[in-house]
Amino acid sequence: MEQTKYILEEKRMPTHWYNVLPDLPDPLPPPLHPGTKQPLGPEDLAPLFPMELIRQEMSSERYIEIPEELQDIFRLWRPTVLYRAHRLEKALDTPAKIYYKYEGTSPPGSHKPNTAVAQAYYNKKEGIKRITTETGAGQWGSALSFAGALFGLEIKVYMVKCSFYQKPYRRIMMETWGGNCVPSPSEETAVGRKILAEDPDCPGSLGLAISEAVEDAVSRDDTHYSLGSVLNHVLLHQTIIGQETKTLMEDIGDYPDIIIGCVGGGSNAAGLYLPFLKDKLDGKKPDLRIINVEPTSCPTLTKGLYAYDYGDEAGMTPLLKMFTLGHEFMPPPVHAGGLRYHGMAPIVTHLHKLGLVEATAVHQLGTFEAGLQFARNEGIICAPETDHAVRVAIDEALKCKESGETKTILIGLSGHGHVDMAAYDAYLSGKLEDYEYPEEKIRAALKHLPLNGK
């Protein structure tokens, strides 16, 4: 009987994070100061982040040690399981082999604690008492609230308003762990009050929620800001996923031909594929395909502009060179929730620009259809975001059925959907529709880039 699940022994868990920056064939364009438009120095980021995270953000070290205290906490849910999707393969009648690394067994139910716990740890060591952040679908806010509980930190979360009301159980999770969650835009910040005065029914965006969280953080000496995706140090922390997976696949004697992950900011997908990408960069696996999957409602990689842009709507954050839909982009209130960010991680952007990774956008109804097919065969109800990766994995497996090729497909299963059931209910009752963000709205959002689209 073929094995279904593969679990790494705790003693073989990664002791270091993998930093892709020194292995990039071309260096990553530097972040710029939002005021001077000049390259940032560590001192420019000090009001927002602890110095160790700033060091990691800019590090040229290939491997960065994971402190033992963090390794002990990770053992609460790590290592996570790598599954072989035998039942799904049979249902699809495909010769492809499908594996998925399941991150939904963490206490908050997603990959997000891998960086939330690390960020809380370094803030605590620097004497910070309070952290502010934003969240889209609520996975990041719940993960940081969980991390705050572990280290005795006060957590303030600005949650995109449409998600705040669509996903009430995420808010309750945050409050259970001691976090304070408010809908964004809110009356608690100047930028929030300004937006509400202009549009009282504004559904919110991650860019706007970031503006509120940053404004809050810089107004207090005891507070730092924390981001759940996009930045280099966040992707670094997530490489624990790919390193575990790579070790297990070496044990199995298999290697992926295709790696697929959903992307909003890019952290879970990059965390899975960056350790494998090193083999592609080294020439060991030159034909490895890496597919980043995003929603058609927020097509950052597939329709965005490659330019410097702010990470937030108000223009308070550093300028990052990334594929962007414009920091004024206001996404539609669809259930893709956490994938509705206007920009893409600079590392993911850079790799796509170099042709080392691919990107595709999928419609909402197709993702839920794939989620149901996955749940009815593998048993796991995925987060709506994760369903985007499942959709493309099923499509690739069906292509193998047509061609007769026996390819190995690896999916990043970034989280469960147990508190996203309202989205599934809307799909099952026929209330969801496909939505493709109009080209004219994208062009309008790109008109106010800080460096004129450069």
Q: 453 pLDDT exceeds 80?
A: no
What predicted TM-score, i.e. pTM, was given to this entire model?
Answer: 0.96
pLDDT digits (tens, 9 = 90+) for 293-348: 999 999 999 999 999 999 888 788 899 999 999 988 877 766 555 687 889 999 99
Residue 335: the pLDDT is 57
Task: List pLDDT tens digits, range 3-23.
Answer: 999 999 999 999 999 999 999
HSE (side-chain half, CA atoms, 13 Å) at 282: 9
Structure tokens at 408: 């190995």
62 contact partners, CB below 8 Å, separation of at least 6: 18, 19, 22, 23
3-state secondary structure of 315: coil
Domain assignments of the chain as residue spans, ordered by start? 68-109+232-448
CA 141, CA 172: separation in Å to the nearest integer?
11
The 8-class DSSP code of residue 448 comes to: G
Alpha helices of 340-438 — where are they, by DSSP H? 346-353, 364-378, 384-403, 421-428
Q: Could you please report the per-residue DSSP string of 52-120?
A: HHHHHHT---SEEEPPHHHHHHHTTT-SPPEEE-HHHHHHHT-S-EEEEEE-TTSTTSBSTHHHHHHHH
Q: What's the pLDDT tens digit per position in 202-261? A: 988 888 999 999 999 999 999 999 999 999 999 999 999 999 999 999 999 999 999 999
Query: Helices marked H in 318-363 — which ranges?
Result: 346-353
Q: Are 393 and 362 in contact (CB under 8 A)?
A: no
Q: Is the dihedral of CA 56, 245, 386, 353 positive or negative?
A: positive
Q: Is the dihedral of CA 374, 378, 379, 384 positive or negative?
A: negative
Q: Of 203, 158, 348, 153, give the one whose Cα is nearest residue 265.
A: 348
Count CB atoms within 10 A of the CB of residue 451. Answer: 12
pLDDT of residue 1: 61
**SS3 sequence, 224-273?**
EECCCCCCHHHHHHHHHHHHHHHHHHHHHCCCCCEEEEECCCCHHHHHHH
Q: Are strands 130-135 and 305-310 parallel, antiparallel or unpaired?
A: unpaired
**Is residue 51 predicted with pLDDT exceeding 80?**
yes
Per DSSP, the three-state class of 333 is coil
Contacts of 214 (CB under 8 A, 6+ apart): 48, 132, 225, 312, 314, 316, 317
Helices and strands per DSSP (H, E), number in the chain: 18, 15
**pLDDT number for residue 137:** 81
In this structure, which CATH number among 3.40.50.1100, 3.40.50.720, 3.40.50.460, 1.20.140.10 belongs to the domain 68-109+232-448?
3.40.50.1100
Tokens of 323: 């594929």
The chain-wide mean pLDDT, for the chain, equals: 94
By CB neighbour count within 10 A (0-12 exposed, 13-18 middle, 19+ buried), where does 165 fall? middle
Cα(254)–Cα(249) distance, integer angstroms: 5
Please write the tens of the pLDDT for every residue from 53-100: 999 999 999 999 999 999 999 999 999 999 999 999 999 999 999 999
